[in-house]
Amino acid sequence: MEASLATYPSDENALDVALMARVGRGDHAAFRSLVERHQDAVVGTVAKMLGNPSEAEDISQQVFLRLWRHAKNYRPDAKFTTYLFTITRNLVFNESRRRSRRKEVSSDERGEFSHLQIQADSALEPDAELLQAELCKAVDAAIAALPEAQRLAVVLRRYEQMPYEEIAGVLKLSVSAVKSLLFRARGTLRESLSSHLDD
């Protein structure tokens, strides 16, 4: 059982690399397969970074459009997902900088996505549901307030279960720098949410 689990990621990467080789030759079916395999992760990551579902769709389309355009030049020097999320990082950071220049981020937008994976309990009392919603909004706001590199590291580690080595590849940092980013981010989040956690 352990052996099959250990080989699963490399099998998945081999499939992605093979599909990219076909995409580089103009194969539309291979491109559709790649999009289907990875669009949920890309859309989810962009949405968690930007907090706006409609923009997440737009940016994700740009990610895959860029993937198509540059497929001929793709070299499997790293895992395919590292390459994919590096493109995602570039587009998200560009959008974040554009937003900060225009100061367009609103708390209403951040509230659209919950970043806490809390089990929904249909038997929750209305007061408990209200408290849960407030906590989710507080977590959204705390994550959105992190510097962009810390925010992306948190999203990739927590929600995409990406290993440190791959996050390092996406962010163009050393593994120790990624661990340091995550340590600082967790400290900031703990501090930002301390009043909610005390309750």
d(CA 179, CA 149): 12
**pLDDT (tens digit per residue) in 80-126:** 999 999 999 999 999 888 877 765 444 444 443 444 443 444 444 55
Q: Is the pLDDT of residue 52 over 80?
A: no
Nearest to 115 by CA among 164, 50, 37, 58: 50
Nearest to 146 by CA among 112, 196, 182, 92: 182
d(CA 31, CA 36): 9
**pLDDT (tens digit per residue) in 127-162:** 667 777 777 778 778 888 899 999 999 999 988 999
**pLDDT (tens digit per residue) in 9-42:** 679 999 999 999 999 999 999 999 999 999 999 9
Nearest to 31 by CA among 40, 41, 21, 43: 21
d(CA 64, CA 46): 13
Give the domains, in start order, of the chain with CATH numbers: 1-113 (1.10.1740.10), 117-199 (1.10.10.10)
For the chain, the 3-state helix, strand and coil shares in percent, each to the nearest 5, are 75, 0, 25
Nearest to 87 by CA among 148, 44, 42, 132: 42
Structure tokens at 73: 């030049």
- Helix crossing, 175-192 with 126-144: angle to 10°? 140
Q: How far is CA 19 from CA 24, 31, 59, 108, in A?
A: 9, 7, 22, 39
